[in-house]
């Protein structure tokens, strides 16, 4: 039986005030009353799991590029584990 509510996962790494502002803008936009039937779930990049990704109907990734390689590597490992186990 299909769910009436879809889950949107926003995975983020907000290493700076500008990235925090971008994340908050995306989160607010996704959670606005004009968007119906969507549950917004947020996870920090270092806390996101393969289960989070599997349970989502859509994923938005937000992380700095080369400025924080550890967070990007961890996020990449999570996604690689997700793809590898699917």
CA distance 14 to 34: 26
Report if residue 56 sits inside a domain. Answer: yes
Which domain covers residue 54, as residue numbers? 9-85
Report if residue 40 sits inside a domain. Answer: yes
Neighbours of 74 (CB within 10 A): 18
- Which pLDDT value is given to residue 61? 85
Residue 18: both structure tokens together: 């500008």
- Which pLDDT value is given to residue 34? 92
Report if residue 1 sits inside a domain. Answer: no
Report if residue 20 sits inside a domain. Answer: yes
Tokens 């400025």, residue located: 67
Mean pLDDT of 51-69: 80
Report if residue 4 sits inside a domain. Answer: no
pLDDT at 1 over 60: no
pLDDT-derived band at 43, boundaries 50, 70, 90: very high
């Amino acid at each position: 039986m299909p769910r009436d509510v879809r889950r949107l996962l926003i995975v983020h790494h907000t290493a700076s005030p500008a990235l925090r502002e971008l994340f908050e803008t995306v989160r607010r936009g996704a959670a606005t009353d004009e968007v119906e039937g969507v549950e917004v779930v947020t996870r920090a990049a270092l806390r996101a799991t393969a289960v989070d990704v599997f349970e989502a109907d859509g994923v938005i990734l937000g992380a700095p590029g080369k400025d924080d390689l550890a967070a990007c590597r961890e996020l990449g490992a999570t996604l690689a584990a997700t793809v590898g186990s699917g």
